[in-house]
Amino acid sequence: MNKQDLLEALHKEGIRDDAYDLSGGHSPEVYTLAEEYGLWFVYYSEKGLESGKKEFATETEACEHFLNELRNDPTVHMALGRTEGRL
């Protein structure tokens, strides 16, 4: 899996675009995927801090971990647009 595959999977699974950043950096309150000096990092960026930062040797490992992190966070999924009280 590479970043393009990851992006497609995130869209398919209904993950909100504002919940992540695939270009590194420190956007407020987003899951972040970054590549530096041939290593890959996944962390949650919050107030300039890198919470839960993990390092990976390959893009594939980092992307798979990133996708699993977002899958397991119910706050990042788009609403399904259901209308209450209707079947």
Given this model, what pLDDT does residue 80 score? Answer: 57
Given this model, what pLDDT does residue 79 score? Answer: 73
Domain spans of the chain, in order of start: 3-76
Question: How confident is the model over 23-68, as pLDDT tens digits?
Answer: 998 999 999 999 999 999 999 999 889 999 999 999 999 999 999 9
Residue 19 has pLDDT above 60, yes or no: yes
Question: How confident is the model over 64-85, as pLDDT tens digits?
Answer: 999 999 999 999 998 754 444 3
Given this model, what pLDDT does residue 5 score? Answer: 98
String of DSSP letters for 11-76: HHTTB-GGGEESS-S--TTEEEEEEETTEEEEEEEETTEEEEEEEESSHHHHHHHHHHHHHT-GGG
Given this model, what pLDDT does residue 85 score? Answer: 38
